[in-house]
Amino acid sequence: MDDQNKNLILATVLSFLVILGWYTFFPPPEPEQAPETAVSETAPAGDTALAPSAAAEAVDSSAPAQAEAPQAARLAIDTPRVTGSISLQGGRIDDLSLKDYRETLDANSPIVKLLKPVGEAQAYYALYGWAPGSGLSLDDVPGANTVWSAGADATLTPDSPVTLTWDNGKGLTFSRTISVDEDYMFSVTQSVANASGGTVSLAPYGTLARHGQPADLKNFFILHEGLVGMSDGELAEIDYDDMADFEADARDGSKAEVRQVAENGWIGFTDHYWMSTLVPAPGQAFRSIAKFDERREIYQTDIVLPTVTVADGQSSEVTTQLFAGAKEWETIRGYQKAGIQGFLDVIDWGWFFFLTKPMFWLLHNLNVLIGNMGWAIIGLTVVIKILVFPLAYKSYASMAKMKELQPEMEKLKERAGDDRQKMQKEMMELYKREKVNPAAGCLPILIQIPIFFSLYKVIFVTLELRHAPFFGPFQDLSAPDPTSIFNLFGLLPFAAPAPESILALVFIGILPILLGVSMWLQQKLNPAPTDPTQQMIFAWMPWVFMFMLGGFASGLVVYWIANNTITFTQQYLIMRSHGYSPDVFGNIKSSFKKKPKAEK
């Protein structure tokens, strides 16, 4: 490998190191903790979300709602995958936990709680209602404080919907039927029957409200958390902090962004692994509203359907859906196939979605086939290496040819002496005559970088890697290697440094060490560079990577180890097939020899 080729490799690898080093030693700032209560000092105690207005010409229906009264009844929710309850005050879906997911790896840790009622820290809930049109007031329609009636001991299950009713005493009877499937999708049918003796106008709406930012907000550059929505094929991802920059809404004092959706859309909030989303029926026009009430510290999304006019003796109903659960790829894809346009985009695939989406699809299916995510990552590595093998073969064949030309190149250097221009010219003529591309050796590195970052994205953002076991101590491939030199990988009777501590960067685990060794062995396929500076950089590079990647997700380190192992094998066999036999053991021994001192 000539100096020009080595310089290109060094530039590529050092750029990669700079990027990794920057985000390791200068991570994004920690998010500010959300207030323990959802109500600011200036807000009335117990305030909940603002209800949307029915239409541009309608009165603003932002009546404050109160925290749940102690005597308010609740209806239980019990499905194979979720548990919780619905408050009859406002008919709010405000208590929901996910049976299949726990907060930590501990089998006794609490299950993940997604929705919380007003009064708890970081309250988070869905509510529905009707915004009054002409001839109606806020008291004539159900709102966030309305106490609904329901059947005794009613329980919401996939086989038994629940129906809430409320009579306004003026001839309007409202009902709300809530059903749920086997996974995470609720269907809410709102209806109104008019026996008032006149015609009324009103608009159905749905609201998701979140009091304060999530306590576990990652605030990491590679992951979107906050508002997510789809409006006729256009995806919107807005961070919580950016919602404060919306224009002020004169009607209720909040900061709001309004979009008119013609046919298909949805809007809600996404966390790292969970989300809640309001979903009108496909083909349904609606207004999509995102707002931030700075005084109450409430983040809110609304869907407002068109105003309906109901004559005396007539009725009207509309059905919308609410997704509240885990961002499981298979589950969300099923809902997208059922008609929810672009629903898979709630997972943050990033700018390189054309790589991350197929990469995850393959990884997921390998995991289904093998039954172990660690081996699935290794299988994915094998498939990727097969796909890029033609380029790798060309690269390694060119490197083998370069080794064959080494005697000729030495003769050129002797003839050229100090005339570097003449030497470069004759070397290029030699490359052209022998049909050798000196930059071909860089192809595997250049290809590897986007693949590495795409897999990093997949491992970090997808739920399927969360708490995914491999073997032994590696029970969460989305987390760093839990082993450590500090306690001799668990042999000594004390705990390893916490992953977030500075000691964890030094006392690395088994996987990072294997990574460093595999990179070091890969280097030994070739003799060390003759240039002292390059020799030093190449000698340190495996160990720098070992410590740099030590705090990364262990699944990513597994991929890198597998990639290095396969690359070593491919390069060794290809170079031998072209007549060059790498002296691996000789190169290893020479790296331990004491370098002679230069003569003065």
pLDDT digits (tens, 9 = 90+) for 151-195: 878 899 999 999 999 999 999 999 999 999 999 999 999 999 999
Write phi, then psi, for 309 (nearest 5 degrees): -110, 120
pLDDT at residue number 11: 45
Q: Does pLDDT of 496 surpass 90?
A: no
Contacts 24+ apart (CB under 8 A), 392-396: 392/443, 392/444, 392/567, 392/570, 392/574, 393/570, 393/574, 394/440, 394/443, 395/440, 395/441, 395/442, 395/443, 395/444, 396/570, 396/571, 396/574, 396/575
Mean pLDDT on 436-465: 79
pLDDT at residue number 259: 94
CB atoms within 10 A of CB 168: 16
Q: Does pLDDT of 63 surpass 50?
A: no
206, 337, 401, 456, 458 from 332: Cα distances, Å:
21, 9, 51, 21, 16
Higher pLDDT, 146 or 423: 146
Minimum mean pLDDT range among 157-161, 350-354, 461-465, 495-499:
495-499
Residues of the chain above pLDDT 90, percent: 54
pLDDT at residue number 417: 72
pLDDT at residue number 33: 38
CATH number for 74-348: choose from 2.40.128.50, 3.40.50.620, 3.40.50.1820, 2.70.98.90.
2.70.98.90
Higher pLDDT, 526 or 382: 382
Question: pLDDT per residue over 375-401, tens digit each?
Answer: 999 999 999 989 888 877 777 676 666
Q: Does pLDDT of 96 surpass 80?
A: yes
CB atoms within 10 A of CB 593: 7
β-pairing, 286-293 vs 247-248, is unpaired
| pLDDT-derived band at 415, boundaries 50, 70, 90 | confident
Between CA 293 and CA 39 the distance in angstroms is 10
* List of residues 6+ apart from 43 with CB closer than 8 A: 295, 296
83, 175, 399, 536 from 531: Cα distances, Å:
66, 81, 18, 9
User: How far does the chain reach from its first CA to its final CA, in angstroms?
Assistant: 29
The two structure tokens encoding residue 409: 């190149």
Between CA 49 and CA 125 the distance in angstroms is 9
179, 327, 331 from 185: Cα distances, Å:
9, 12, 10
Minimal CA–CA distance to 101: which of 112, 116, 92? 112
Look up tokens 């491919």; give the residue: 570
Mean pLDDT on 12-18: 50
pLDDT at residue number 256: 93
Q: What is the residue-averaged pLDDT of the chain? A: 83
Helix (H, G, I), strand (E, B) or coil at 211: strand
Residue 98: half-sphere exposure toward Cβ, Cα within 13 Å: 21
Mean pLDDT on 253-258: 88
Between CA 423 and CA 427 the distance in angstroms is 6
Give the amino acid at 65.
A
| pLDDT-derived band at 596, boundaries 50, 70, 90 | low
What is the four-CA torsion angle of 9, 14, 20, 25, rounded to 10 degrees?
A: 170
Q: What is the DSSP secondary structure assignment for residue 169, as one 8-state letter?
A: S
**25: part of which helix (H) or strand (E)?**
helix 3-25
pLDDT at residue number 389: 82
Contact of 297 with 38, CB cutoff 8 Å:
yes
* List of residues 6+ apart from 22 with CB closer than 8 A: none
pLDDT at residue number 599: 46
Between CA 246 and CA 230 the distance in angstroms is 18
Higher pLDDT, 512 or 580: 512
Q: Does pLDDT of 212 surpass 80?
A: yes
Q: Does pLDDT of 39 surpass 50?
A: no
Minimum mean pLDDT range among 171-185, 303-317, 585-599:
585-599
Higher pLDDT, 443 or 255: 255
> What b/e readout covers 17-42, taking b as 16+ CB neighbours within 10 angstroms?
eeebeeeeeeeeeebeebeebbbbee
Give the amino acid at 435.
K
* List of residues 6+ apart from 249 with CB closer than 8 A: 255, 256, 291
| pLDDT-derived band at 69, boundaries 50, 70, 90 | low
The ranges assigned to domains in the chain are 74-348, 365-590
Q: Does pLDDT of 27 surpass 50?
A: no
Minimal CA–CA distance to 20: which of 512, 466, 535, 452? 452
Minimal CA–CA distance to 560: which of 577, 571, 546, 581? 546
- pTM of the predicted protein model: 0.82
pLDDT at residue number 595: 57
Contact of 99 with 83, CB cutoff 8 Å:
yes
pLDDT at residue number 538: 76
The H-assigned helical ranges of 469-595 are: 503-506, 510-523, 532-548, 554-577, 584-592
Between CA 181 and CA 159 the distance in angstroms is 8
